[in-house]
Amino acid sequence: MKGANNMAVTIQWFPGHMAKAIRQFEENVSLVDIVFEVIDARIPLTSQNPEVARITGEKPHLFILTKKDLADREATQRWLAYFKDHGQPAIAVDAKDHFNINDVLSVINPIMSPKLAREEQKGMKKRPIRAVSVGVPNVGKSTVLNRLVNRRAAQVGNRPGVTKGQQWLKAGKKLELLDTPGILWPKFASQEIANKLALTGAIKDSVFASDDIALFGLKHFRARHRDQLMARYRLNDDDFALSDVDLLLLITKKLGMRDDYERASNRIIQDIRNNKLGGFTLDNLEELQPNVTRND
Binding residues: 138-143, 182
Q: Render 85-102 in DSSP notation, one character per residue.
A: HTT--EEE--TTSS--HH
Of the candidate residues 39, 53, 139, 268, the single one contacting ligand G4P (CB under 6 A): 139
Residues in the annotated binding site for GTP: 138-143, 182
Region near ligand G4P per CB under 6 A, out of 5-13, 52-60, 62-70, 148-156: 62-70
275: left (phi over 0), alpha (psi -120 to 50) or beta: left
Is 73 a binding residue for ligand G4P by CB under 6 A? The answer is no
Q: Of residues 175-214, which lie at the interface with ligand G4P (CB under 6 A)? A: none
Q: Residues 26, 27, 51, 94: which binds ligand G4P (CB under 6 A)? A: 94
Under rule CB under 6 A, how many of the chain's residues touch ligand G4P?
16
Shortest Cβ 145–ligand G4P spacing (Å): 8
- Tell me the CA distances in angstroms from 189 to 186, 195, 237, one per residue in order: 9, 11, 36
Is 140 an interacting residue with respect to ligand G4P (CB under 6 A)? yes
DSSP secondary-structure letter at 124? Answer: P
Give whichever of 83 and 99 is closer to ligand G4P, judged by the CB atom: 99
**Rounded to a whole number, what is the distance in angstroms from the first to the last CA of the chain?**
39
Q: How many Cβ atoms are within 10 Å of 79's Cβ, its own excluded?
A: 25
Closest residue to ligand G4P in the complex (CB): 140
Specify the residue, 12 or 274, whose C-beta has the smaller distance to ligand G4P: 274
Q: Which of 28, 45, 90, 141 binds ligand G4P (CB under 6 A)?
A: 141
Instruction: Kindly identify the residues of this chain, within the stretch 42-61, that bind ligand G4P according to CB under 6 A.
Output: none
Which of 135, 182, 186, 279 is in the footprint of ligand G4P by CB under 6 A? 135
Only one of the segments 5-13, 94-102, 218-226, 253-261 lies at the binding site for ligand G4P (rule: CB under 6 A); that segment is 94-102
Query: Quick one: which of 70, 198, 203, 209 contacts ligand G4P (CB under 6 A)?
Result: 70
Give CA torsion, residues 287, 35, 58, 79, to 10 deg.
-20
Q: Report 236-275 residues binding ligand G4P (CB under 6 A).
A: none
Q: Which stretch binds ligand G4P (CB under 6 A): 84-92, 139-147, 153-161, 244-252?
A: 139-147
Cβ partners under 8 Å of residue 206, min gap 6? none
Q: Which of 235, 230, 223, 196 is nearest to 212 (CA)?
A: 196
CA distance 229 to 232: 5
Shortest distance in whole angstroms from residue 40 CB to ligand G4P: 9
| 83 close to 90: Cβ distance less than 8 angstroms | yes
| The only residue of 138, 166, 167, 191 in contact with ligand G4P, by rule CB under 6 A | 138
Q: Which stretch binds ligand G4P (CB under 6 A): 54-62, 134-142, 188-196, 276-284?
A: 134-142
What's the gap between Cα 256 and its chain centre?
Answer: 34
Task: Identify the sign of the CA torsion 80, 31, 98, 68.
Answer: negative
Q: Are strands 175-178 and 168-171 parallel, antiparallel or unpaired?
A: antiparallel
Cα gap 68→75, rounded to integer Å = 10
Site residues for ligand G4P per CB under 6 A:
66-67, 69-70, 93-96, 135, 137-143
